Amino acid sequence: MASSEESEDSSEDGPQYNSIKQPPLINQLKKILDEYPDDGQILKEIIQNAEDAEASQMKILFDERIVNTEDGTKGKRFKKYFKGPALCVYNNANFTKEDWEGIQMINSSVKEFDPVKIGRFGLGFKSVFHITDYPMIISGNTLLVLDPHQKNSTRVCINMKLNKLHTCKYMKLLDVSYCLNALDGLFGFSQGTLDSGDFDGTLFRFPLREQKTNLSDNVYDKEKILDLFNAFQAEASVELLFLKCLEKIELCFKDEDGFYTSDEPFFTVGITDNCLNQVRERRSKFHSHMKSVGLNIADETMMTTFNVTIGTKAELGDMTEQSWFVLHCLKGGNVSKELADLSKDESLSYSPYVSIAVPMDKDQDFKGHVFV
């Protein structure tokens, strides 16, 4: 039996309720892209996502191959999601339930109240729409495509189970050969992956935007991808300094003929073996402490220090090493009221945490840099 309040609300003479009209998703994404420059920051956002997933290894690959080029708007509609060339990114952590939820959100994030997460505000990943109209994510047993061009907003996020792609329910939308044309040989993906229905780690694939669309006029090609790679290499030696999980990042190519050797990247940056165990231990301990504290003020200040050597190596060059002294500090105990209020304010999710890195090599030209 309806309550009197419900009866009043349903009356023709009563108030009428409507939702607020939302702008089209395309318009929301355009606004986000205006806030994120189309430059090396895109790779930094992807690196932050790998760090937040607690991955230790990461590979970034430009796949030059032209695949699945025929028009996919007729017949097999999912074909366009598997076109190439593409920028591909792998990390050795699996997506969690929260990750799947977060990647399908806009202007919000499941990381929002987690001070340990770098990309906790959820907008940074959307910068990949500078590159592509159809981001793809594969992890565990799931393949997800984001298609902001869908007219029905309930169909933007297309979730598929890897071991179901060959079934009759998908045959009108997708031929499995399209999937293998694009993915076979990438970071261990194969027919066996589809058979088992499981991919170890997480693979992002971003088919390059080759012509202007309603989402963006920004057309991407090999030259622009190389610009991203060059921007990353210019700052690679400091990318790992303040992270807690990532230990190595590699840049790779798969050329038009399909030649690709993941064991021979053309550029690598990583923590060197001689200090890796100690750095891993100190990082892990501090990271665990930060997670246990959350948005609270710790009972006492925790500080950890270590020496770390970062090695960078280009394809035909020698390994270049730089040694650093790194300090991480999470303030606890007696703190000012202002600092306590900022830390506990969930709308800000600030943490009283600071890190400093000092180069151990003598360099008269070293000027320093602030990372926020």
pLDDT band at 257 (very low <50, low <70, confident <90, very high): confident
The DSSP symbol for 124 reads G
pLDDT digit string, tens, across residues 117-148: 544 435 678 889 999 999 999 999 999 999 99
Across the chain, what does the average pLDDT equal?
85
* Residue 91 or 261, more confident: 91
Long-range contacts of 141-146 (CB under 8 A, 24+ apart): 141/197, 141/198, 141/199, 142/95, 142/100, 144/100, 144/103, 144/104, 145/78, 145/81, 146/103, 146/104
User: Residue 111: is its pLDDT beyond 70?
Assistant: no
Q: CB of 82 within 8 A of CB of 179? A: yes
Q: What is the pLDDT of residue 120?
A: 42
pLDDT attached to residue 83: 94
pTM above 0.95, yes or no: no
**Band of pLDDT at residue 246, cut at 50, 70 and 90:** very high
Lowest mean pLDDT among 44-58, 74-88, 167-181: 167-181
Mean pLDDT of 240-267: 84
Sorted by sequence, the CB contacts under 8 Å of residue 145 that are 6+ apart come out as 78, 81, 134, 135, 136, 157, 158, 160
Residue 253: how many other CB atoms lie within 10 Å: 19
Model confidence over 139-191: pLDDT tens digits? 999 999 999 999 888 899 999 999 998 886 776 778 888 999 999 999 999 99
The closest of 160, 170, 172, 111 to 136, measured between CA atoms, is 160
Check residue 168 and give its pLDDT.
Answer: 65
Q: Say what the pLDDT of residue 362 is.
A: 73
Average pLDDT over residues 25-46: 86
Residue 121 has a pLDDT of: 37
Phi, psi (deg, nearest 5) at residue 209 = -75, 115
State the pLDDT at residue 229. 95
Higher pLDDT, 20 or 164: 164
The pLDDT of residue 175 is: 84
Measured at the CA of 192, the angle between CA 191 and CA 195, to 5 degrees, comes to 90
Q: 123 with 115: CB under 8 angstroms?
A: no
Model pLDDT, residue 107: 63
The pLDDT, as a whole number, for residue 10 is 53
Dig out the tokens for 138 from the structure.
């594969």
- Is the bond leading into 85 cis (omega within 30 degrees of zero)? yes
